[in-house]
Structure 1
């Protein structure tokens, strides 16, 4: 543990040697698994067209986005992306929109087990649950002011959202909370079906985070503001696509 902390301190000292006004150098970015193809990589390529001397290192986020600046033992993280609340203290945040969580299953599951419209029916179905560290496990759904517990006949738990979605596509059960960004394509293509209509986990705020220290660097602050705007555009487009489905 001491060696990891010393390594982190050495990296921090190297960062402090940088010219704060230069639009060049490394930005280490922590992101949840699975969001890269739509939500990160295309935007990084676009940003690099504008600022070609920037370098990026991407690491997988395994905790809440605002916590990674303190609990990652080997890397100095400049920016993180994830669900959360506005930053406080030394944490700086940029809000980029809200993420809806959609109860889904495959058409093959419905054909075999029937449609489901109310959480009380979950007691005779198989539930697919996400238990990764980026957010809490979904244990209840809301519809207006009504809250109902999710109680499954049996449950399959996944720490990887990609694995959960693949199991859902294969007809293994009902996922109560796939983030809309991860299922909008499959919903449009008919590979997944929105069940429990009206019932869902409350939407989560999406944020980009950094620290007061790192936003003093022009490259970090420029990227933080630029990426937040790009994400606002993407989330708005996804919401509009889902609205057309509904």
Structure 2
């Protein structure tokens, strides 16, 4: 038994979240898996996994080793695939997380279509706005809008997402139309709590660069669908990603108030753990998602 085999087994324990599942996958007993991980820890002189009755948690050393172990595992899989012809088709499971706006708009459909195109693939898709811990929570792929701060992850840019200021014709008729960003101080501004810059800090273009207007309002939510409904109800002015309200703008149910003044534009990224060679199924899924975004580029 080589150290490479133990590294691959360690990666599987992390991905599956338990010794017993790794044992079952490799037709081993729990005690054999436990002994091999203990042997790896002894050889390296560090504890890799903290074991409790409920869950396994990676140590800092374990997190670093996991990145390298997945490289070994992926290289082994791809080498075998080349010989067996497996590379011509893709199989396996993908666990991914996507933001609620994109999930509702196109990603749920795009991912379901991908599964249909590749019958050997199963995908568990979670819709959530909070940035998940990819390594800790064993995600294979995450779609997110904003900035990537963890250098241990790889991000592929998909598209830019422009934000807009909008309100209903009825709201404008009752309260007047804000022409300049400063006019918003006189309006009820509906606030989206899921913003890195803060729900009440709206960014605009000025003659000397971008600047912030600190608005006020009586409604704040961290749910994009709820914010859209409040805007469509005529209760105030909303600052949202254009993709969320694109169809409403096209139908005239909402009016884009300052199309050339809103400065906020965020990148949409496909993010995955750092490996030299991301698996074929992940590469294909990212490209499939990218093409679906580009096919709807007018929404963004």
Report the TM-score, using the length of structure 2 for normalisation. Answer: 0.66
- For the residues of structure 1 that align with 2:172 and 2:187, how far apart are their CA atoms? 11
- CA shift, 1:214, in A, is 9.3
Matches within 5 A, 1:95-244: 95-132=157-194, 135-137=196-198, 139-146=201-208, 147-176=210-239, 178-213=240-275, 216-235=278-297, 237-238=298-299
- For the residues of structure 1 that align with 2:231 and 2:144, how far apart are their CA atoms? 23
User: Residues 50-101 of structure 1, C-alpha deviation per residue, up to 9 Å, x if partnerless?
Assistant: 211111111123334xx5314xx6x311111111346864312211110000
Helix, strand or coil at the partner of 2:264: coil
User: Residues 96-151 of structure 1, C-alpha deviation per residue, up to 9 Å, x if partnerless?
Assistant: 11000010111111111111111211221111111126x43251322254444323
Helix, strand or coil at the partner of 2:94: strand
Q: 1:116 to 1:186 in 2, by over 3 A?
A: same
- For the residues of structure 1 that align with 2:296 and 2:53, how far apart are their CA atoms? 40
User: Residues 164-219 of structure 1, C-alpha deviation per residue, up to 9 Å, x if partnerless?
Assistant: 1110110111012x111111100000111111342213211111111124953221
- For the residues of structure 2 that align with 1:200 and 1:3, how far apart are their CA atoms? 51
Aligned length: 227
Q: 1:123 to 1:189 in 2, by over 3 A?
A: same
Quick check: 2:154–2:272 contact (8 Å CA) kept in 1? yes
Matched, 1:6 2:69: no
In our comparison, the structure showing a higher alpha carbon Rg is 2
**In structure 2, which of residues 114, 124, 127 is the aligned counterpart of residue 47 of structure 1?**
114
Between stretches 178-187 and 214-223, larger displacement belongs to: 214-223
Q: Unpaired runs of 5+ in structure 1?
A: 240-246
Between stretches 187-196 and 143-152, larger displacement belongs to: 143-152
Quick check: 2:103–2:127 contact (8 Å CA) kept in 1? no
The structure with higher relative contact order (CA 8 Å, sep 6+) is 1
- For the residues of structure 2 that align with 1:27 and 1:144, how far apart are their CA atoms? 44
Quick check: 2:171–2:236 contact (8 Å CA) kept in 1? yes
- For the residues of structure 2 that align with 1:3 and 1:164, how far apart are their CA atoms? 42
RMSD over aligned CA atoms reads 3.0
Quick check: 1:119–1:149 contact (8 Å CA) kept in 2? no
- CA shift, 1:26, in A, is 1.4
Helix, strand or coil at the partner of 2:122: strand
- For the residues of structure 2 that align with 1:41 and 1:112, how far apart are their CA atoms? 38
Quick check: 1:29–1:56 contact (8 Å CA) kept in 2? yes
Helix, strand or coil at the partner of 1:231: helix
- For the residues of structure 1 that align with 2:225 and 2:129, how far apart are their CA atoms? 14
Matching residue of 1:244: none
